Structure 1
Amino acid sequence: MNRSFNKTARRTVLSSALLSTALSGVTFAQVNDGDQIEIEEITVTVERRSQSLQNLAGTAALFQGEDLKQLGVQNLTDLNGRFPGLQIANNQGNVEVWIRGIGSSNNTELGDPAAATHLDGVYVPRPRGIGSVFFDIERVEVNIGPQGTLRGRNATAGSVNIISIKPGLGVWDAMAEVEFGNFDQTTIHAMLNVPIGDKMALRVSGFSLDHDSYLNNVGPVDDIDVAEAENNLGFRAHFLYEPNDKLRILLTGDYVQEKGTGFTGVNFANPLGNGIAPSEIKNPRDVIAAGITPILDTEHWGAKIEINYDVGPFNIEYLGSYRDLIYDFEATTPLSPNFPGVLETLGPLDEAFDNFSRFQSITDSESIIHELRLVSKDDQRLIWSAGVFYFDEQQFSFLGSTGDRGLFFSGLEFNQPDTDGESLSFFGDATFEITPKMRLTGGLRYTDDKKTRFGVNSRSVFAIGGENFSCCGGVRIGTPGFDFAGKDRTIFNPDTGGDGFVDDQEILDFFFDGVAEFGARDNVDDIFANGPVFGGAPFDQRPDCLDTVSGDFFNCPADGKVSFAVPIPGQIAIQNGRIDNSFVDWRARLEYDVTDDHLVYFSVSTGHKSGGFNDNVPGTEGLGPLNPGGANNNQFNADTLAPEFGEEKVTLFEFGSKNEFDVGATGVRLNASLFYNDYSDLVLNSLLSIAQVLEFEGVDPDTVDTETGGLVVSFNFNASDAEIYGAQLDGGFRFPYNINFDWSFLWLEANVQNSQPIQDFRFQADVAPDEAVNQSIDGRRLPRTPRYQLNGSLSHMFEVGPGTFDWIMSAGWRTKQFLTIFNSIDFQNPSDPRLRLDDTVGSFLTLDFGSGYTLSEGRVRIEAFVNNITNQEREQALLITQFDNTRFFTRPRTYGVRLRLKS
């Protein structure tokens, strides 16, 4: 190998090919011409400026857009497990990114991700729908470790930047592509690049994707579609204007629409509770469906302006953007995965399949970003940047559920019409060349984060029945045709009379205000059409149920009288809260070129994730106890408690070395790093009852009535510290004849330290008070942290006939991991743990293959791919509560072919 070729080009290509690991494909261009090897230079913008990835004194991953496509990658979540330490999960439509065990599952309006997602440099606070922007993509960069000074807001784990292809000046270009695959998948992708004179250019692209569900409804009600069918559409347009060599203006607009049946997961509580282990279930995607067909409707669009101006000694860069997300998902979760005898475990089948308990989740987010940076030229001894970042987000959020066919539970509603977030940062970063071989970097960033919220949550409880509930109980709510009012609710404070009490009519008014349309078989609207109905009157004077109750499921008592029909006051809490965090992040790094091809470095960097507040819970008075004698007249306490949680902090220490050398005619790359993360004030997200929350806050839960105390809410708290450490190795071999092998290995330890005892939130206090108690999690392993992770890829390119054939085989291996902080431990039965508490994902190996044939000087290309060859069905997200063990799986085996035509 000729050692004289450009060092920067070689470092860039070799590192990027490896760091793509499992799907690196052809991230390089290598052509043999005697002893000379020409390598196309590939650069990244990990540190907000273009540089070789091999020259970066830190750890990052690069995924080239064409390589992603070649292996059948459809969206952001398909990157899950394709680089050691990186995990990306779809949790009911939420895109959750975890890097080396640091991430967040707090997907409410109160939460923020711990790994920041960016689209063309724009911070995306709610990455729902962002997974489908994977068309006309140049590359995806993943920055490993806290990015507090460089990428700013909520980047304690790192950041992901999806970078699209920009317009080319003076270039006419067009492309059309069609793909067909299993699950009746059809994908269409088109692009057009149009020059406008010699100073302007327009690039427009679009795609559509359709496929059937990855779940199979094998239950007796076969006219219900199930989750994981997709019908997606996307468009993007870039307009570039470069009037001279000093000014560059880029305007961008993008739009993504995701429809289909969304993501419900599969609840394994039924088989696990009946002693059926997951390994005994032949296909976890075969499910017993009931209720309604899930309906997903997501629209995510944005507009951006980017201005770069060269003023001589430095450049001025401005980025302004607006993003708008509307996510609306309504669904019922399948009753169970399929297993022998499953129908016998569901109880009376006419009741199990005539139950329309459902939920609806809505997120409406509008965000604005302004960022102004002053950036030095790269050819100076001191390279620096400084700037200001401003972020503003306004949200509406809604979560509603109905409990059809229930006696004492009719539904929950979390309705938050006004949640505002604001962040302001000032930052600076500089690298000074001490000697031609030694450089020192320092950075500082000050951030002030604010968040406020107004809204309400409630639990609706109704009961009807014969005398002493001896027969006939049953409330119907949520049957076909039912529709929540959602954003159109007008009553948020149930005390409409303003007297400090909530009577029965006000409870009814509040409930009815939250319903836009009752279902065809609902009976609550008929029962309470004329106001509250009570059972306190003498039995022979009570209303005739034939005149009061209509609809099925409720059968009148033999004497035709209603013994008990009353709205029971559950918890209604005003949702007011405010948080104001400020913190400083910094980084320091020393790097040294031992030779032109051998770099060593040591760095320390910090990152913060903002704190916040929880859902409000009643104060010690709460809603007063039920008055069984008639009118309830419950005292309403609007001054509720909003428990807060503090910010998280991560400090990363890293020592690394990057090296390139030749062994004969083979080019070799070998990089290594040792790292230690000091993780402080780790925030856990849990589902707790009001009673558990009050106990956690030091309030006697007995001061709140039973119905109020049983309400389950999402609760966040600073639970512990943690330490995360290990070693990462990566290497690559560039053999003659365009044969290439890349690999990457991670050893990772991630354990909880200094934990306060936390309540076992897998249990509900009002259902299992002996198990919903404080337990120690000291020494537990952080979720999503396999101890060993290995990725590798083998690729080859060669000429065949009039064209060029290339192929890539990639593999990824993980040891076992846990998906909750309790690590599958059953505290009451440690030697024989109940299957319902199992959160273990066993070790597994994935294989992917892609190939392509290119001819007519690149104008025609045919590709074929198989993704997840071994059809591994592995959990990527998991929710365990008192009644749930809901699992979200990676995509099953998919395969397809595509044809691409270019001008």
Structure 2
Amino acid sequence: MFVRKTLLHRSIAAVLAASSAMAAAQGNAGADSPPAPDGGNAETTALDLVTVTATKRSTPLQKTPVAITAISAQALDKERVITVQDITSLVPGFAATTQGDHGVITLTLRGIGNDSAKTEYADPEVALFVDGIYTPRAEGAASLLLDLESVEVLRGPQGTLWGRNSTVGAVNMQTAKPVIGDNSGTVQFGLGSYARLGGRGAFNLPISDSWAMRVAFAHEQHEGYVDYQNAGALLPSLESQRTAYLASGGDPAAFQAINPNLFVTGGEKYNAQNQTAVRISSLLQPSDKFSWNLSYEYFRDTGTPSMNLMQKPRAGQDFWSSLVDTAPSLDREVSSLRSRMDWELSDYLSLSYIAGISRFEGSADFDQDGGVQVPTSFATGATYQQDRTNYSVYRNHSHELNLTSNGENTIDWILGLYYAAEKNKIRFDIPIFNGTQQGTVAWQGSFIQPKQTVDSKAIFGQATWNVSDAFRLTGGLRYTDDAKENIGGRGWGWQGYGNPDIPQVPIAPGTIPSNANGFGFGIGGINDGQYDHGQLTWLARADYDVAAGFLVYASVSTGYKSGGLQDGGVPYQHEELTNFEIGTKSSFLDGQVVWNNAFYYEDFKDFQLAAPITFVDGSRGLGFSNVKGSTKVWGFESELNARLSDVDRLQFVFSAIPHKKLGTLLYAGSNDYQGLPPCPAESGIGNCLDVSGNELAHAPDAAFTLVYEHDFRFASGARLTPRISTHYETESWLSAFNLGDGDKQSSYTRTDLSARYLNPDGTWYVDLYVDNAEDKKVRTSAGRTAVGSGFEYLSQYLPPRTVGMNFGFWF
């Protein structure tokens, strides 16, 4: 087990003195006064006044020639957003998938994503930022979205201003900043299905006329959705067990009955939540020429992983249940220090220094086999597989220096320098046994990476030539150099077959594998290696105001994701995306109707696909493959926001991805999909499938979300606002294998309902809600297990129907 440390506490003093930076032009956009939970006077506010920071300046959304979705604090509150996964239906072409063994969320945008971006090796295609500071580890996506001012989702490659790993887009979460001179706060409590308890709040504290602080907290918990099946009712009789064991060639003298106590029947269930976060923020503004935003954030997650469920549950068993032989466990904590300093050097020039440092520690335990097979004896008929993260520790820091032109100029420009570094380590054990834990070893291994480093350096610049009041040309360049090194990494595999002196027991967390310690492990792979690559990314764009409130733009941009080292120290290549896009931004009726559209064509080179695989020698590891040729995607996106009247509001989000074809990949393997054909020896892996030309996963042909709300206003001044949010999408594949209905999510509609009562003087409110009113079972991932002569498919799912209420007030 990993040793818990007080994250970053020893670093705070140094960072306060030397590494500062965080939010002025970027961080304070729209933050003069945090909005009331009901949206304040939203019905009298023009929709086209929203500001965003996509160009690293505060600009009006409708004047920003980028495909961007801006979700306000009010919308986040009304949608009851807790994690990134909760906002996907509000963004065209956005999807999120869950990965049980690491308890993480991975993101897909415009059909491009990486379901296996879940270890210290893998990077995402959709980059995550908090206040403009890159969050490199996928685990950060699951953190509570605490006290946010807004979430901006930039669609399309953002390689010039936002850097590496924003291959197909970026998500920037803007936290609520302190307000000097303001003394206010908000608190919310909630309860609901599955014993849900929630609470959050934020308090703005004026310290002086140049200093303010803000304290925010959040806690969410609910019981697990997945019940435990009764093993005693499913296990065969003792005589049947003996017959099955002897038929397999087992030694009669070694026979033993299956111990039903090996199966979990109580305690914490899978798919439970127990997350807590707190943030302390400071704004120091001693003059109108200088400001310093600094925040410290702590997040703790002691819930449980999401379970792989049988798509077709066995007879007599509830869908939300599983035969479990590994109790769920999850313990993660993240500490982050973020800083931004802004100087106005002159009327024409500003300097910003943005820095961040964070540390992640975690452990997890997960039942990978999903309880699909019922053992026929203690050593036959099923597979016991435990995926256990003994420890993972990710440390990173980043620094960015921006020099920016001020005011309105013939040429507006920004120049920047960037440096980021990571130092990571992990141990991941996988014991796999025939039958039950009492059975014989099928295979087991321990992946120990004591040190992996990442260094990324970049220089970038972007300039906009204001040719006229209506016409603008923009160009940008960024050069990035990435270096990665694995030091001392080893993949230990079981080599004790046929040796009666080696105990056939699952590897324990305290067991240190070696060639001579009596536990039967030998080195299956040496992960030492180095990777270094430099990449140029660029942007060319033209935008034109056709008329007041009607902007047209066209752009060509590139994005880049770093390559790296996979298990065995073998390098895999970087990937790059070229995106061609035409978009429009329109506002009508004095800004009460906003309609934005984008057509895009993506040409993707060396797309990285990652999966756990078995090599030809029987050892296992996480393998990366680069799809050769071009992976081509084209589609259309549309967003409509309308204030139909003083009391009616409508939002419509639409995405179409009619073409999303992989390039050439002859040998795609995955241990999550049993039964793939044997692979040619030259492939290096045991089983694989040719996925050339297959469709991308998580990319439905069409999807839309419709949100409508209406205010009922009473003579007393009170207000009742019912709200409906419904999402529909066509069928989509869940992997690049395209293996049929089990590897697919069929078309579906999923609806959330809510109603908010606001008291007459506007100081408190009550929400009632029903999420997933249809109780639709929506798959986010898939895999399959061989059972007899066929296969059983497993998936992870969005939550079932839940109901609840929230009570909130502000002062």
Deviation at 1:406, TM superposition (A): 3.9
Partners of 1:781 and 1:354 lie apart in 2 by 31
Q: Are 2:118 and 1:191 equivalent residues in the alignment? A: no
| Alpha carbons 1:148, 1:608 under 8 Å: kept | yes
Partners of 2:322 and 2:775 lie apart in 1 by 18
Give 2:388's aligned residue: 359
| Alpha carbons 1:409, 1:462 under 8 Å: kept | no
Deviation at 1:756, TM superposition (A): 4.2
Give 1:284's aligned residue: 319
Partners of 1:354 and 1:38 lie apart in 2 by 60
Partners of 1:842 and 1:231 lie apart in 2 by 31
Letter in 1 for 2:801: R
| Alpha carbons 2:191, 2:804 under 8 Å: kept | yes
Task: Choose the corresponding residue for 1:65, options 73, 76, 79.
Answer: 73
Partners of 2:79 and 2:153 lie apart in 1 by 19
SS of 2:725's equivalent in the other structure is: strand
| Alpha carbons 1:199, 1:242 under 8 Å: kept | yes
> 124-133 or 149-158: which moved more?
124-133
Deviation at 1:477, TM superposition (A): 2.9
Partners of 1:659 and 1:174 lie apart in 2 by 36
Provide, for residues 617-657 of structure 1, a one-character-per-residue CA deviation record: whole Å limited to 9, x for no partner: xxxxxxxxxxxxxxxxxxxxxxxxx3221111101111122
Partners of 1:585 and 1:882 lie apart in 2 by 45
Give 2:337's aligned residue: 303
Provide, for residues 315-349 of structure 1, a one-character-per-residue CA deviation record: whole Å limited to 9, x for no partner: 10001111000121023346436xxxx8xx44248
> 295-304 or 731-740: which moved more?
731-740
Deviation at 1:744, TM superposition (A): 2.1
Letter in 1 for 2:303: G
Q: Are 2:180 and 1:169 equivalent residues in the alignment? A: yes
Partners of 2:679 and 2:626 lie apart in 1 by 24
Q: Are 2:518 and 1:483 equivalent residues in the alignment? A: no
Give 2:17's aligned residue: none
Task: Choose the corresponding residue for 2:265, options 222, 235, 245.
Answer: 222
Give 2:579's aligned residue: 652
Letter in 1 for 2:152: E
Give 1:440's aligned residue: 473
Give 1:631's aligned residue: none
Partners of 1:727 and 1:476 lie apart in 2 by 54
Q: Are 2:416 and 1:387 equivalent residues in the alignment? A: yes
Partners of 2:755 and 2:572 lie apart in 1 by 50
Provide, for residues 499-531 of structure 1, a one-character-per-residue CA deviation record: whole Å limited to 9, x for no partner: xxxxxxxx232x65xxxxxxxxxxxxxxxxxxx
Provide, for residues 59-94 of structure 1, a one-character-per-residue CA deviation record: whole Å limited to 9, x for no partner: 111222332232333222222333220012221212
Question: Under a length normalisation based on structure 1, what TM-score does the superposition of the two structures give?
Answer: 0.75
Q: Are 2:126 and 1:115 equivalent residues in the alignment? A: yes
Question: Under a length normalisation based on structure 2, what TM-score does the superposition of the two structures give?
Answer: 0.84
Show the 5 A alignment for 1:367-382: 367-382=396-411
Deviation at 1:871, TM superposition (A): 1.6
| Alpha carbons 2:108, 2:126 under 8 Å: kept | yes
Show the 5 A alignment for 1:81-100: 81-92=89-100, 93-100=103-110
Deviation at 1:465, TM superposition (A): 8.4
Letter in 1 for 2:576: K
Q: Are 2:458 and 1:425 equivalent residues in the alignment? A: yes
Letter in 2 for 1:124: T
Q: 1:156 to 1:900 in 2, by over 3 A?
A: same
Q: Are 2:83 and 1:75 equivalent residues in the alignment? A: yes
Give 1:237's aligned residue: 280
| Alpha carbons 1:224, 1:290 under 8 Å: kept | no
Deviation at 1:259, TM superposition (A): 0.1
Partners of 2:334 and 2:664 lie apart in 1 by 39
Q: 1:667 to 1:769 in 2, by over 3 A?
A: closer
Give 1:159's aligned residue: 170
Provide, for residues 417-453 of structure 1, a one-character-per-residue CA deviation record: whole Å limited to 9, x for no partner: 1000010000001111101110011110000000000
Task: Choose the corresponding residue for 2:213, options 185, 197, 202.
Answer: 202
SS of 1:80's equivalent in the other structure is: helix
| Alpha carbons 1:407, 1:462 under 8 Å: kept | no
SS of 1:109's equivalent in the other structure is: coil
Give 1:894's aligned residue: 802
Task: Choose the corresponding residue for 2:360, options 325, 331, 355.
Answer: 325
Give 2:15's aligned residue: none
Provide, for residues 663-714 of structure 1, a one-character-per-residue CA deviation record: whole Å limited to 9, x for no partner: xx995433332110111111111333221xxxxxxxxxxxxxxxxx011221
Q: Are 2:661 and 1:752 equivalent residues in the alignment? A: yes
SS of 2:467's equivalent in the other structure is: strand
Task: Choose the corresponding residue for 1:777, options 676, 691, 695.
Answer: 691
SS of 1:128's equivalent in the other structure is: helix
Give 1:737's aligned residue: 646
SS of 2:143's equivalent in the other structure is: helix
Partners of 2:599 and 2:725 lie apart in 1 by 25
Give 1:799's aligned residue: 713
Give 1:850's aligned residue: 754
Q: Are 2:727 and 1:812 equivalent residues in the alignment? A: yes
SS of 2:173's equivalent in the other structure is: strand
Q: 1:199 to 1:410 in 2, by over 3 A?
A: same
Deviation at 1:396, TM superposition (A): 0.7
Give 1:675's aligned residue: 600
Partners of 2:211 and 2:592 lie apart in 1 by 41
Q: 1:428 to 1:378 in 2, by over 3 A?
A: same
Letter in 1 for 2:566: N
Give 1:256's aligned residue: 299
Q: 1:607 to 1:39 in 2, by over 3 A?
A: closer
Task: Choose the corresponding residue for 1:615, options 553, 560, 567.
Answer: 567
Task: Choose the corresponding residue for 1:786, options 700, 703, 723.
Answer: 700
Deviation at 1:261, TM superposition (A): 2.0
| Alpha carbons 1:463, 1:474 under 8 Å: kept | no
Aligned length: 724
> 805-814 or 419-428: which moved more?
805-814
Q: 1:840 to 1:612 in 2, by over 3 A?
A: same
SS of 1:77's equivalent in the other structure is: helix
Give 1:51's aligned residue: 59
Q: 1:307 to 1:265 in 2, by over 3 A?
A: same
Partners of 1:444 and 1:730 lie apart in 2 by 29
Q: 1:406 to 1:80 in 2, by over 3 A?
A: farther
SS of 1:54's equivalent in the other structure is: helix
Letter in 1 for 2:188: E
Q: 1:175 to 1:754 in 2, by over 3 A?
A: closer
Show the 5 A alignment for 1:623-772: 642-662=569-589, 667-691=592-616, 709-720=617-628, 721-752=630-661, 754-761=663-670, 769=678
> 172-181 or 139-148: which moved more?
172-181
Deviation at 1:737, TM superposition (A): 3.2
Letter in 2 for 1:295: S
Provide, for residues 279-313 of structure 1, a one-character-per-residue CA deviation record: whole Å limited to 9, x for no partner: 9998532212224x211110011112210000012
Partners of 2:672 and 2:652 lie apart in 1 by 42
Q: Pick the structure with greater CA Rg.
A: 1
SS of 2:63's equivalent in the other structure is: coil
> 758-767 or 399-408: which moved more?
758-767
Provide, for residues 75-125 of structure 1, a one-character-per-residue CA deviation record: whole Å limited to 9, x for no partner: 222223332200122212122111011112232222111110111211011
Q: 1:816 to 1:26 in 2, by over 3 A?
A: farther
SS of 2:711's equivalent in the other structure is: strand
Partners of 1:110 and 1:354 lie apart in 2 by 27
| Alpha carbons 1:129, 1:256 under 8 Å: kept | no
Unmatched tracts of structure 1, length 5 or more:
1-15, 17-24, 272-276, 467-471, 495-506, 513-566, 617-641, 692-708, 826-834
Letter in 2 for 1:451: K
Deviation at 1:314, TM superposition (A): 0.9
SS of 1:68's equivalent in the other structure is: helix
Show the 5 A alignment for 1:4-43: 29-31=41-43, 41-43=49-51
Partners of 2:611 and 2:785 lie apart in 1 by 9
| Alpha carbons 2:783, 2:794 under 8 Å: kept | yes
Partners of 1:97 and 1:756 lie apart in 2 by 22
Deviation at 1:749, TM superposition (A): 3.0
Partners of 2:667 and 2:387 lie apart in 1 by 31
Tell me the percent identity.
24
CA-based RMSD: 3.0
Letter in 2 for 1:157: V
Q: 1:72 to 1:232 in 2, by over 3 A?
A: same
SS of 2:80's equivalent in the other structure is: coil
Partners of 1:299 and 1:666 lie apart in 2 by 43
Partners of 1:398 and 1:385 lie apart in 2 by 42
Letter in 2 for 1:793: V
Provide, for residues 570-617 of structure 1, a one-character-per-residue CA deviation record: whole Å limited to 9, x for no partner: 54332201100100000011011111111111111101101112211x
